[in-house]
Amino acid sequence: MKNEGKKGDENFDFDLIVIGGGPAGYTAAIHARQHSLTTALVEERELGGTCLNRGCIPTKALIDVANVLRTIRDAAKRGLDFTGADPSKFGVKMPDILKSKERMVKKMTTGIAVLLRENNVTTLSGTASLTVPKTAGEPFVVTVTKDGNSKQYKSRKVILATGSVPSELAIRGADSPKLADRIFNSDAMLDINFVPEKLIVIGGGVIGIELAQVFHEFGSKVQIVEMQSSLVNSILDTEIEDALKKSLNARGIVVRTDASIESIESTESGLRLNLTDGEKIEGTHILSAIGRKPDRRILDAIGVTETFVNVDERMRTKIPGLFAVGDINGQCMLAHAAMRMGRIAAISTGDELLGEQAGFEPELETLRRETTRYPELIAELFPFYSPIVIYGEPEVACIGLPEKLARQRFGNDIKVGHFPMAANGRAVASCSQEGFVKVVRCESNDRLIGVQIIGSYASEIINEASAVFFTATPLRQLQQALHAHPTFGEAFVEAVADSRGEAVHIPPKK
Ligand code: NAI
């Protein structure tokens, strides 16, 4: 497709400039080209943003290596003969693991460059700064600077997709120079070429839990220290959270919640955390996984004062013609949500420029209005409207409301079903019996209100739940769809059946 969009006005170099080449930005640029807008994308580092370079993809590469190691260690129990070798002593070569991870990342980022090129998006390499028009009709001016050279581009619209950076530890002692090579944020942790002996993970969120499992498998003694009473910002159903904690503990990963850290100090053997209740935790290294905050450079420069830039449902900021998508607006800091926001912003831009409805999610919005018994629930559900996955072994995945919130909202109209992985043929055959699926169903309209899963392949099963959720398919219809046997996904349908007392592969409830 040529970059042939709107032409004929010398005041503008592009219809749209997207700043930031992560999932939100590159998706926005590609969708904009699908609406024939002349589009440029500016990126100062590698394409792919946090997801491809410092987040989703590299962590999944490490988790996969950890799973291979675990599978090999357990393989002797399943009849494999490792004569002459003791699988329990198999270890890791971190520099080689990093090289392998880098190859995977490179393949993915190169793929994004190809996609942008094939869609005829003009990719500009450098750091962007932005000048907002003072009067309507004037262009946005994006200045792209690289190696001391700057060039200016004029655009009708701008989508900001500049992402987020790890939050810094604001704890007494954390900035001591003696600890500089012992405290890592999640970016740095993905590049360490050794296995810490005793790793303290500060923050029991998604990043903390995923990387705790990786380094535990690689041989670190790991403790997670979380200041709240629950893990993962309380988004999990209590039953699932308890099962996750139990699983982490059973493998030797210590989880401390309600832990408030007063200070960090260096010791002869490493470092010590002093908790406010007087407890002390010794370690050799710290992973700081306490959340992420928006990259504020452009926001500060254009005078946006909110921590996360406010946007409406079309991703419009208060500045006409300026959209903000992905982590920078704080609506839902997940790559798949970022891609959705990128699409919405591109379509909204198209609508504004082409003077027609380029198609702002009309089908989805209509569907939601028509099929949801409680339309106001939609607003409440965000970010629960997005599937959320914590990778590791087992995986945790959820969408919609956990039981407690669903009961608060719908009272006795809620029916709950469970199905244990231990009763799923594929899980048993794969030695993956840990975990269960929990379904929360609205009895009066037979719609799915929430699904929470802990177990192998939860990240795959959740996609079917998401399809049912977003299309508001009555669950009776889901049960009529034949599911292949044996598959992990059967556990989801059986959990739905259990919510009616109709599950086949577990005994009837007395
Ligand atoms: P998070 O917000 O999920 O978790 C941070 C945790 O740190 C919270 O539970 C918080 O209570 C705790 N915390 C903060 N300060 C603390 C302190 N001083 N002491 C002890 N605990 C403290 O942030 P996280 O894990 O850093 O992830 C950042 C973002 O990246 C999240 O929005 C997450 O959803 C996203 N992400 C998603 C992944 C996925 O979808 N699988 C993978 C990795 C990241």
Q: Which atom of ligand 1 is nearest to the CA of 225?
A: 20
Largest separation between any pair of C-alpha atoms in the chain:
77
Q: Which atom of ligand 1 is nearest to the CA of 231?
A: 9
pLDDT for the residue numbered 83: 80
- What pTM, to 2 d.p., does this model score? 0.93
Distance CA(232)–CA(107), nearest Å, equals 31
- Could you read off the pLDDT of 230-289 as tens digits, one per residue? 999 888 999 999 999 999 999 999 999 999 999 999 999 999 999 999 999 999 999 999
User: Do 453 and 397 contact (CB within 8 A), yes or no?
Assistant: yes
47 by DSSP, 3-state: which?
Answer: coil
Provide the angle, in degrees to the nearest 10, between the axes of the packed helices 94-118 and 23-34. Answer: 20
Candidate of 210, 227, 339 to mutate for ligand 1, largest count of ligand atoms within 8 Å of Cβ: 227
* CA nearest ligand 1 atom 3, residue: 205
93 alpha carbon to ligand 1 midpoint, in Å? Answer: 28
What are the E-state strand segments in 29-91?
39-43
Taking Cα atoms as reference points, which of 258, 233, 231, 261 lies closest to residue 246? 231
264 alpha carbon to ligand 1 midpoint, in Å? Answer: 20
- Could you read off the pLDDT of 108-124 as tens digits, one per residue? 999 999 999 999 999 99
Residues with pLDDT less than 50, the chain: 1-2, 5, 7, 363-364, 367-375
Q: Taking CB atoms and a 6 Å cutoff, what residues make up the pocket around ligand 1?
A: 55, 171, 202-208, 210, 225-228, 233, 261, 289-292, 333-334, 389-391
Q: Which atom of ligand 1 is nearest to the CA of 290?
A: 7
Residues paired with residue 122 on neighbouring β-strands, in sequence order: 40
56 alpha carbon to ligand 1 midpoint, in Å? Answer: 14
242 alpha carbon to ligand 1 midpoint, in Å? Answer: 18
pLDDT for the residue numbered 375: 45
pLDDT for the residue numbered 378: 52
Candidate of 207, 396, 459 to mutate for ligand 1, largest count of ligand atoms within 8 Å of Cβ: 207
* CA nearest ligand 1 atom 17, residue: 227
pLDDT for the residue numbered 11: 83
pLDDT for the residue numbered 365: 52
